[in-house]
């Protein structure tokens, strides 16, 4: 209560409060990629409404999500013409009942529906946080359809903020977004990193040891960790061959795979059987706070084929863990090769495992890389830096007096 009053008082200092709508297709996206952002925006004079497409991860802790009002308008990632039309109607009715100063959208389906509804109802300007190019791994007519949808969404929006520099360049070069609509915040990332929360501590070390014990992982066994959705897009099936390659260099290693299954893009059954039957592999399911797993592991391994920006890699680096990942868009900006970890060719699971195995066999090098990685996150990706520059964009769109611009040219 007192915290909310303080937020309102600080907002009053900035002028009358503004209404901000934030839209994501899935509740899990909002839960994982917006943590801490809403209270900060509230402190800067914004009242927050959030629309998501499901109630699967509905329990948003107040300390991380403030007093945001939550709403559900059912949406799905893939095209569903009748359901999408119904969702569009619901968005229009919602925006007619509630007028917003700025509409903040991210994730493809939510962005398209909310941006179109905003245009149809003459609602406030739309800010598109471009998190990922969903069509990157697609081909043929399906890819053209998704590219067209993205181009149309951009057309409906006032400002586009890609979360990586490479994505910004590709959107302009492909004709998806004009350069005049694009701005770039800080060094990239989706929401920045809470470097105080993600840091090695005695408490997290103890929790990590408890996790090892609970899952039958010996205290001294080398441990590889993957955190993310269990789906083909994340290359989870590659973890099997990568782990085998790592075992050649670190025979007593274990692998923990932390994250929810994704029924929309499931991993092959043979991979799941291996993960469920190998005593050195540990499937844990969804974890809303992976810090103890970061503390428990020795090397973080990430097999995704592409990302908007690999936030989980920054979290691992902030916890002083060396990262090994594929050299793909969105990841190569999250991992500085030979500084915070190593990048290998995409789909080369053996090389991924060998790089991880070498680090498991050289604790001194792993520790040095981990320390460099944390310093890089602190210098470039602290969430306060990302949020401050995001607020500049929102203030400008909402009509508040702009501060001197600190937005980077997307070509930098």
Task: Dump pLDDT digits (tens) for 87-114.
Answer: 999 999 999 999 999 999 988 899 999 9
CA–CA distance from 153 to each of 145, 177, 272, 305 (Å)? 12, 9, 37, 24
Task: Give Cα separations from 280 to 135, 328, 337, 380, 406 (angstroms).
Answer: 35, 28, 28, 36, 48
In a domain, 403, yes or no: no
From 129-138, 142-151, 278-287, 325-334, the region with the lowest mean pLDDT: 129-138
Comparison of pLDDT for 63 and 305, the residue scoring more: 305
Q: What is the DSSP string of 355-405?
A: HHHHHHT-HHHHHHHHHHHHHHHHHH-BHHHHHHHHHHHHHHHHTPPPPPP
Please check whether residue 348 is in contact with residue 328, taking contact to mean a CB–CB distance below 8 angstroms: no
At residue 313, the pLDDT reads 96
In a domain? residue 346: yes
The phi and psi torsions of 286 (rounded to 5 degrees) equal: -65, 140
pLDDT, tens only, 158-197: 999 998 888 888 899 989 999 999 998 888 887 889 999 9
Q: What is the mean pLDDT of residues 302-307?
A: 92
Tell me the CA distances in angstroms from 348 to 332, 333, 370, one per residue in order: 15, 19, 23
Task: Indicate if 178 and 301 belong to the same structural domain.
Answer: no
Please report whether residue 407 resides in a domain: no
Instruction: Mark whether 187 and 209 lie in a shared domain.
Output: no
- pLDDT computed for residue 409 by the predictor: 43
Q: Would residue 158 count as lying in a domain? A: yes
| Amino acid 34: pLDDT | 85
Number of domains in the chain: 2
CB contact at 8 A, 313 and 300:
yes
pLDDT at 357: 97
Same domain, residue pair 59 and 139: yes
Percent of the chain with pLDDT over 90: 70
DSSP 163-201: SSHHHHHHHHHTTSS-GGGB-B-TT--SS-B-TTTSS--
Same structural domain, 84 and 188: yes
Max Cα distance, the chain (Å): 63
Is the same domain home to 20 and 136? yes
User: Per the domain annotation, does 411 fall within a domain?
Assistant: no
> Any bridge partners for residue 102, and if so which?
20
Tokens of 104: 């903040």
Residue 100 lies in a domain: yes
* Residue-number span of the structural domain to which 265 is assigned: 202-380
User: What is the pLDDT, as a whole number, of residue 277?
Assistant: 95
User: What is the per-residue pLDDT for 12?
Assistant: 42
pLDDT at 407: 42
Q: How many CB atoms sit inside 10 A of residue 253's CB?
A: 23
- Of 102-111, 308-317, 339-348, the range with the highest mean pLDDT is 339-348
Using one digit for the tens of pLDDT, what is the confidence trace for 361-390? Answer: 999 999 999 999 999 999 999 999 999 999
For residue 210, is pLDDT > 90?
A: yes
Is the confidence at residue 7, as pLDDT, over 60?
no
Q: Are residues 188 and 327 in the same domain?
A: no
82 and 27 share one domain: yes
- Give the pLDDT confidence score for residue 237 in this predicted structure: 96
Rounded to the nearest 10 degrees, what angle do helices 108-120 and 81-97 cross at?
A: 50
Judge if 390 and 345 occupy the same domain.
no
- CATH code, domain with 321: 3.40.50.2000
pLDDT tens, residue by residue, 263-292? 878 899 999 999 999 999 999 998 989 999
Residue 26 C-alpha from the chain's centroid: 12
pLDDT band at 15 (very low <50, low <70, confident <90, very high): low
- Is residue 121's pLDDT more than 90? yes
Q: Residue 189 has which token pair?
A: 């990332």
Looking at the structure, tell me whether residues 134 and 267 fall in a common domain: no
The pLDDT of residue 257 is: 98
Question: What local confidence, expressed as pLDDT, does residue 402 receive?
Answer: 54
Residue 327: φ, ψ to 5°? -80, 80
What is the pLDDT of the chain when averaged over all its residues? 89
Q: Mean pLDDT, to the nearest integer, of 315-335? A: 95
Task: Give me the pLDDT at residue 58, please.
Answer: 67
Q: Which 8-state DSSP code applies to residue 230? A: B
Give the dihedral of Cα atoms 211, 214, 217, 220; nearest 10 deg.
60
Both 272 and 326 in one domain: the answer is yes
Q: Are residues 267 and 172 in the same domain?
A: no
Reduce the DSSP state of residue 312 to 3 states and report it: helix
| pLDDT at 410 exceeding the cut of 60 | no
Identify the band that residue 401 occupies on the pLDDT scale cut at 50, 70 and 90: low
Residue 14 pLDDT > 80: no
Residue 360 lies in a domain: yes
Instruction: Clarify whether residues 261 and 186 are in a common domain.
Output: no
What pLDDT is attached to residue 61? 76
| pLDDT at residue 137 greater than cutoff 80 | no
Q: Is residue 262 part of a domain?
A: yes
Mean pLDDT of 237-243: 97
Of residues 384, 407, 385, 386, the one with CA closest to residue 396? 407
């Amino acid at each position: 209560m007192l915290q909310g009053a303080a937020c309102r008082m600080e907002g009053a200092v900035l002028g009358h409060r503004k209404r901000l709508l934030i839209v994501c297709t899935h509740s899990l996206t909002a839960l994982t990629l917006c943590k801490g952002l809403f209270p900060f925006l509230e402190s800067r004079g914004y009242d927050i409404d959030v629309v998501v497409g499901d109630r699967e991860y509905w329990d948003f802790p107040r300390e991380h999500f403030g007093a945001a009002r939550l709403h559900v308008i059912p949406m799905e990632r893939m095209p569903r013409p009748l359901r999408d039309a119904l969702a569009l109607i619901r968005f229009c009715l919602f925006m007619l009942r509630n007028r917003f100063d700025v509409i903040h959208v991210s994730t493809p389906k939510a962005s398209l529906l909310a941006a179109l509804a905003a245009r149809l109802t003459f609602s406030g300007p739309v800010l598109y946080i471009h998190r990922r190019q969903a069509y990157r791994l697609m081909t043929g007519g399906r890819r053209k359809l998704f590219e067209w949808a993205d181009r149309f969404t951009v057309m409906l929006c006032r400002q586009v903020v890609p979360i990586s520099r490479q994505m910004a360049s590709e959107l302009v070069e492909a004709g998806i977004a004009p350069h005049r609509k694009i701005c770039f915040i800080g060094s990239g990332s989706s929401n920045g990193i809470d470097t105080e929360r993600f840091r090695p501590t005695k408490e997290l070390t103890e929790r990590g040891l408890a996790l090892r014990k609970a899952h039958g992982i010996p205290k001294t066994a080398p441990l590889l960790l993957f955190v993310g959705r269990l789906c083909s897009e994340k290359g989870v099936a590659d973890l099997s061959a990568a782990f085998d390659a790592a075992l050649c260099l670190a025979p007593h290693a274990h692998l923990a795979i932390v994250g929810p299954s994704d029924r929309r893009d499931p991993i092959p059954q043979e991979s799941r059987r291996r993960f469920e039957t190998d005593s050195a592999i540990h499937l844990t399911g969804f974890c809303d706070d992976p810090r103890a797993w970061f503390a428990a592991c020795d090397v973080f391994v990430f097999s995704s084929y592409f990302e908007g920006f690999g936030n989980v890699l920054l979290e691992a680096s902030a916890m002083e863990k060396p990262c090994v990942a594929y050299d793909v868009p969105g990841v190569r900006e999250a991992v500085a090769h030979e500084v915070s970890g190593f990048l290998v060719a995409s789909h080369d699971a053996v090389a991924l495992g060998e790089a991880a195995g070498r680090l498991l066999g050289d604790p001194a090098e792993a520790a040095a890389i981990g320390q460099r990685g944390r310093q890089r996150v602190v210098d470039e990706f602290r969430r306060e830096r990302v949020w401050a520059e995001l607020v500049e964009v929102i203030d400008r769109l909402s009509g508040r007096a702009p501060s001197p611009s600190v937005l980077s040219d997307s070509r930098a």
